[in-house]
Structure 1
């Protein structure tokens, strides 16, 4: 294909992608999101199109800037940067135009200035040392050994097997495993070396010869050259120019290929290096503490001895007997002491030598062995390797090294709002654990992502819009999320119903892992949702109140119990006069535009109450509850008494509901039938506070009871517990 035809084809694809953002693309709704994927796959198959695509994207960005088409800017910029990271070589003049455009974004409000600053700093580094972004991404995602850049990343996919069918879970697990089959540390190191040398040397690099040479080397030699390239690329960040960076990598290239100097490569054009799939693990969410356990194991993997039998671990701990000492062959048993404690009552025994007393193993006889949980060991939670000692006898303790967030966990939640409600529970539990004993916070950067998936069985009872309110809000706030992620709600069930083939595991261009990787790599702008706490009061006075949290909604309904059926039959006339439903007392603080809060109280008869935390429109904003109470109104006319239902709506942050007659009702959280409370007569709802803030506030109040305002460290702690879910742009104003 000629250059003019190639440019016209890519321009047509980019314009189709922009029409998709406007909602004017002629393709059906279920096929949305494929344009971006096919565009990047085209550049992977033909790396020569990378420069053409970057040039077209820069022109479209400048056109969107002149026409004030801001909703085009972030999608085009993400597409450009993703292409630039994987491109084998981009001219510096083209990178300079992108860099200047990112600097101009600093004059715009968030999120444009935030994304512009991030990409401008990356581009400045890439211009000084070409190939740095590719190298750092692969090192972090594959956890390759690298002292100059010791960062690690992992993608955790969590799916609730009780909410998703087995076919969907199996298809996701199969695709995730297939994406990891063809990768190895040696192959990823070879990709880093090849891409770095080609990015620095350009057309003068013999890519085929370089790949053949790396394939013929032993694994240890490949790692040696990998470390050489990493040190050279990372050393360029210290202030050396692009020319010195090229000289360092040219010396490595000559040392690797031997007698083939740079410049004698066959003129075959640019040969791209595929970006390896990130390290993705798929998990069925079956335990409440599973998220915390996986994060701890990511930071501190279990030692090899914990995975083997107990006998092998115990044998490894026992020292070898000393040679030439007969008493070392005997074992000392630890038994319960039955002596009187008087020295003369002790039986006479032959004392062993001093060396034996120190080296003889101590064994327990007749006891029950209990294997401790590796996740609960103090050495593991304190960040020390098992078996290490803080300091030797008589030696001062070593100074603690400053903690750095070298690990990034990207947790992807698949499902509807019910799995996000479970995530809110797990996140609240994790924050409470961190408030008591800090372990993950200073070491781990925790990022959350959400991909909506609604099985067909659930969609029959409630539509995707009702079950995926969070994803709907994120799609309205971020058009690029709507195009690439919300469309998976229809695509994933289709992929699960496709007939499986033996060659499916051998396919390298799997759509779903590629989209998840793109989302995790480029979606770094969080949208923070307020988590609400609820205190449930039960009808039984002996039952303690329950405390829980919810993210999306709380629903109350009149409970129809056998005991109250009998009561209603005896008071049938009274119930007929009062109408259906039950009496409720509602106390709340109304939220108005002037930000003034006024406490109001209502006494009414109602059949139910619904609190929604996700706004239906962006103008309402996050952090408030939209409450709808179905009130029963009694009216009299010539035909007699009649009852009508009227919906009372208001917005609040704090609300209390009581049943004066102690008639019970049910409470359901986050649309999840598994989280239903029965025999409830009252509930209190308020924004959930950050556990670390509550703990510090309690300590401050203990020493200064007269202080009512936040003082000291409490002033600088976040007060509300916010659940961040990443998108590509956050909330675009």
Structure 2
């Protein structure tokens, strides 16, 4: 806690206004422009400038709400979401905000509900938070700090953890200390409790509280935990009862606690004085290099088991004793069909015998039966009913929870065009948080997984997410306990940053295509997250000059801002690929990808590069690549997909799931062939083929190589054919398989037709997709 009026000067409103204007994204900002790259640093500087003086925080809130109302009048929608996120981040950390200012912010957020997506989604989220904060001042700060720092209490048993996974192919050498040295120890548990008590009393009493005197009393060595538990109980009780209590009930209870703290310190409480600022510390983070040994499922399980809040959820501990980590997840993708026991459709008792056959009513489960299972019996035993070893699967809470998880997201997906018959609206990428929140039950644990790297680390996350969902479909363990939130910080290698400008356009390739797409659809993501890549490289160069730990860790602060404010996901289709090889003894491999699949005939690589030049040359067909057959279903905006097939000679094919620009933002695959003009070329091929189901097969003795998500570690050689299709959600697949075991009717019924069928990868951003 820093005392007001110390070494932190008051910032004039005019200076705050200029700082805000410098942070806002402009129409002229490009993805790689220096001005855009500096906005993330300017936003960080703005919050650092005001966080240690309550007067500055309150002034910032006033300036921001004025700018929001001005943007509303001028219909400058591009500035609304950046200003709103900056405002809410300032409100959470502000020591005290008057009620009239709360009302002004609340009214503005309510007006956003009449706006289109994504403004209404962001407005709805913040309207609920401001309504609760206005009724119970300090509630957001208390809940956020309690969950992020894992403070044990009896009234708000929710915890969060940030897992930062960095790709070792990108983070090597000087980049490792630049990232990992920022994992500072931070404050201890008692300091966090003291901050909660201090902030809650100031937020409720405002000018009637003497902040500096209160901070001094709390630091004198009193037992702070009883006060912390009392604050938790009062705030959560008021939040639960809502407007049923009298308006001054909370204020009266906080005043009593305020006097009690001073009475135990043998001191008289002062009626008024300067407030003390309580900056919100960064959440608890763990930094990892994502090596082959790291398993996300195991890391989440270890964190869950080490929690100090398990006693609040007795049902979670019932299966702890017999639970085993099992086999590595890497072995699960080899078999697509999950293992199920033989199901019984009857009640589990012996079937009724025909009339007159009462003499044969001996149970087949009798252990004295002389005939072993499977051997034919002689004489009268031939008509005896026998029974296979099987099990009766009854509806359980686990299976119901798995269905609910798949059903919740599927409801909002169906609203935008779902079902088996694809309509034109399904080509629009799904975005935004699920609006059907009344179906969801808040999970006690939230794991915020932040990945840092290029497209390769996104591919690794996709595969790990698919395997995790597959394991949960077999046996539910984390699904009903942990909520997974994914965040992506694109960071390319230093060589790519230096050489991307020097390479010609034909040879340049964006190694962070998914990050570039997110920066195009969300300008605030571009300013604060995409611009972090060059900053990390600059910090790595400056690392030898800094002998001690940095006072203000920039990277950790940006990650904290991202995971706290980035709550609008953008969904990416995960595609399933089956790879068959030329050698018959080698079994087919099944894998998934989310960004790219590259197919290439390696023997033609050097030849094609040698004939490239200013003037295209026509050469013989046999030198231009191998002949492949393509069978695909061409997607159209009208939804009238057409089955097509052709044979073509090519040296390479690129299949991309990420659009290169906003004009081509369709939720499907784009296939591009690398063709060279030949002397006898007769087949006309479309320059870009759009489909979601593609099958490629070589028609010659030549084989090709396949690389997934541009990761050399996921390259397959001697490939004969590949089959690509949207990846089924393992939860839906498991439910559908169980249903077919009992009812052989292929037609979907009940909840099956409302469940999400395909698996999507949600990456959180600040706004989702701004049209």
TM-score by length of 1: 0.80
Matches of 1:578 and 1:233 in 2, distance apart?
Answer: 77
Structure 1 residues 648-687: aligned runs within 5 Å: 648-687=687-726
Alignment deviations for residues 583-604 of structure 1 (CA, whole Å, 9 cap, x no partner): 1100000011211110000111
Given that 2:174 and 2:540 are in contact with CA atoms closer than 8 Å, whether structure 1 keeps it comes out as: yes
- Consecutive unaligned residues in structure 1, runs of 5 or more: 304-374, 383-398, 562-574, 637-641
Matches of 2:306 and 2:634 in 1, distance apart?
Answer: 50
Given that 2:29 and 2:35 are in contact with CA atoms closer than 8 Å, whether structure 1 keeps it comes out as: no
Is 2:54 the partner of 1:15?
A: no
Structure 1 residues 104-253: aligned runs within 5 Å: 104-176=111-183, 178=184, 181-218=185-222, 221-237=223-239, 238-239=241-242, 240-253=245-258
Give the drift of 1:429.
Answer: 0.4
Give the drift of 1:299.
Answer: 1.3
Q: Does the C-alpha gap of structure 1 residues 619 and 719 become closer, same or farther in structure 2, counting only changes over 3 Å?
A: farther
Secondary structure at the aligned position of 1:720 is classed as: coil
Given that 1:632 and 1:644 are in contact with CA atoms closer than 8 Å, whether structure 2 keeps it comes out as: no
Q: Does the C-alpha gap of structure 1 residues 701 and 624 become closer, same or farther in structure 2, counting only changes over 3 Å?
A: same
Give the drift of 1:261.
Answer: 5.0
Which among 558, 567, 578 is matched to residue 515 of structure 1? 558
Give the drift of 1:262.
Answer: 4.7
Secondary structure at the aligned position of 2:688 is classed as: strand
Given that 1:406 and 1:444 are in contact with CA atoms closer than 8 Å, whether structure 2 keeps it comes out as: yes
The structure with more radius of gyration? 1
Give the drift of 1:125.
Answer: 1.1
Q: Which deviates more, 458-467 or 674-683?
A: 458-467
Matches of 1:381 and 1:674 in 2, distance apart?
Answer: 26
Which among 266, 287, 290 is matched to residue 285 of structure 1? 290
Given that 2:571 and 2:760 are in contact with CA atoms closer than 8 Å, whether structure 1 keeps it comes out as: yes
Secondary structure at the aligned position of 1:216 is classed as: coil
Is 2:474 the partner of 1:440?
A: no
Is 2:322 the partner of 1:378?
A: yes
Give the drift of 1:165.
Answer: 1.5
Which among 580, 590, 606 is matched to residue 634 of structure 2? 590
Matches of 2:497 and 2:307 in 1, distance apart?
Answer: 41
Which residue is equivalent to 2:329? none
Give the drift of 1:264.
Answer: 3.1
Which residue is equivalent to 2:741? 702
Give the drift of 1:618.
Answer: 3.0
Structure 1 residues 19-98: aligned runs within 5 Å: 20=26, 23=29, 28-98=35-105
- Consecutive unaligned residues in structure 2, runs of 5 or more: 309-318, 327-395, 402-440, 502-507, 605-618
Given that 2:36 and 2:527 are in contact with CA atoms closer than 8 Å, whether structure 1 keeps it comes out as: no
Alignment deviations for residues 354-385 of structure 1 (CA, whole Å, 9 cap, x no partner): xxxxxxxxxxxxxxxxxxxxx99624789xxx
Matches of 2:565 and 2:757 in 1, distance apart?
Answer: 29
Secondary structure at the aligned position of 2:168 is classed as: coil
Given that 2:112 and 2:119 are in contact with CA atoms closer than 8 Å, whether structure 1 keeps it comes out as: yes
Q: How many residues align?
A: 620
RCO comparison, higher one (Cα < 8 Å, 6+): 2
Q: Does the C-alpha gap of structure 1 residues 597 and 158 become closer, same or farther in structure 2, counting only changes over 3 Å?
A: same
Matches of 1:232 and 1:498 in 2, distance apart?
Answer: 48
Given that 1:579 and 1:643 are in contact with CA atoms closer than 8 Å, whether structure 2 keeps it comes out as: no
Which residue is equivalent to 1:457? 495
Matches of 1:145 and 1:5 in 2, distance apart?
Answer: 37
Which among 517, 521, 546 is matched to residue 473 of structure 1? 517
Secondary structure at the aligned position of 2:756 is classed as: coil
Which residue is equivalent to 2:443? 405
Give the drift of 1:187.
Answer: 0.6
Give the drift of 1:633.
Answer: 4.5
Given that 1:129 and 1:242 are in contact with CA atoms closer than 8 Å, whether structure 2 keeps it comes out as: no
Which residue is equivalent to 1:493? 537
Q: Which deviates more, 661-670 or 77-86?
A: 661-670
Secondary structure at the aligned position of 2:587 is classed as: coil
Secondary structure at the aligned position of 2:678 is classed as: strand
Secondary structure at the aligned position of 1:485 is classed as: helix
Q: Does the C-alpha gap of structure 1 residues 581 and 27 become closer, same or farther in structure 2, counting only changes over 3 Å?
A: closer
Which residue is equivalent to 2:419? none
Give the CA RMSD over aligned residues.
Answer: 2.9
Secondary structure at the aligned position of 2:456 is classed as: helix
Matches of 2:596 and 2:250 in 1, distance apart?
Answer: 56
Matches of 1:557 and 1:549 in 2, distance apart?
Answer: 18
Alignment deviations for residues 79-135 of structure 1 (CA, whole Å, 9 cap, x no partner): 000000000001110110110011111111222111111111111111111111111
Q: Does the C-alpha gap of structure 1 residues 644 and 711 become closer, same or farther in structure 2, counting only changes over 3 Å?
A: closer
Which residue is equivalent to 1:312? none
Which residue is equivalent to 1:319? none
Given that 1:552 and 1:612 are in contact with CA atoms closer than 8 Å, whether structure 2 keeps it comes out as: yes
Matches of 1:154 and 1:543 in 2, distance apart?
Answer: 42
Matches of 2:170 and 2:63 in 1, distance apart?
Answer: 43
Matches of 1:554 and 1:24 in 2, distance apart?
Answer: 28
